[in-house]
């Protein structure tokens, strides 16, 4: 099984900004969310690996989780957040309305200098398949971001990447995917998540 964990809160998340490849640290709330997830994942299936996006907010979340289960943290670039390009750290209200409509309608659309949902879907599907194989009867904890986790769910459900716009995924949440692939849970919230 894979437990996909969305990283904890950053100041940009709290402000409602698009947060792609910008690399802020967690807030105190974010660290608390990571600790709650670590405690929740310390019970249940035996963790065999903690894998994370290379971005600081994910690495910090993974490191806190790993203290609860005594595993080293590994990095996998395929778990990195979507590249919002020129829109990184902007609010949705700052994105031109016509571009936002096109983005929601066309999974191959990419923000200027950024990455499309279709590209995120392709790299995440490959990563998820490998992590499921690696998990065996245990648990791989994969710390990532909103877009790759939604893409993993779309892969498991065998839907297109455009379904991402119809899912809400909270900071510090857990989404579980098992062999099949099958979605076991989505957006589980531990204490401190929002």
Q: Count of CB atoms within 10 A of residue 49's CB?
A: 20
The residue annotated as part of the active site, out of 7, 68, 121, 145, is: 7
Length of the chain: 194
Q: Where are the beta strands (DSSP E) in 130-191?
A: 139-144, 173-178, 182-189
Residue 93 Ramachandran class (φ > 0 left, ψ -120 to 50 alpha, else beta)? alpha
Strands (E), the chain: 2-6, 47-52, 73-75, 139-144, 173-178, 182-189
For residue 188, the cross-strand partners are 174
Identify whether 7 is a catalytic site residue.
yes
Active site residue 130: no
Q: Which residue shows structure tokens 């005594």?
A: 70
Which residue out of 68, 81, 115, 145 is catalytically annotated? Answer: 81
Which residues lie below 8 Å from residue 110, measured CB to CB, with a gap of 6+?
A: 85, 116, 119
Please state whether beta strands 182-189 and 73-75 pair in parallel, antiparallel, or not at all (unpaired).
unpaired
The rounded distance, in Å, linking the Cα atoms of 71 and 64 is 11
Q: Which residues are catalytic?
A: 7, 81
């Amino acid at each position: 099984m894979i437990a996909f964990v969305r990283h904890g809160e950053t100041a940009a998340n709290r402000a409602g900004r698009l947060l792609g490849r910008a690399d802020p640290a967690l807030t105190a709330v974010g660290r608390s969310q990571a600790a709650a997830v670590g405690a929740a994942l310390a019970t249940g299936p035996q963790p065999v690996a903690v894998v994370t996006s290379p971005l600081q907010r994910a690495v910090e979340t993974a490191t806190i989780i790993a203290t609860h289960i005594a595993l080293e943290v590994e990095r996998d670039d395929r778990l990195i957040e979507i590249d919002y390009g020129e829109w990184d750290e902007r609010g949705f209200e700052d994105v031109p309305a016509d571009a936002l409509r096109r983005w929601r309608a066309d999974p191959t659309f990419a923000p200027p200098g950024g990455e499309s949902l279709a590209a995120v879907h392709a790299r995440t599907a490959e990563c998820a398949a490998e992590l499921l194989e690696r998990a065996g009867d245990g648990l791989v904890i994969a710390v990532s971001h909103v877009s790759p986790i939604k893409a993993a769910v779309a892969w498991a459900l065998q839907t297109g990447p455009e379904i991402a716009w119809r899912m809400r995924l909270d900071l510090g949440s857990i989404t579980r995917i098992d062999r099949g692939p099958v979605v076991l849970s989505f957006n589980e919230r531990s204490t401190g998540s929002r």
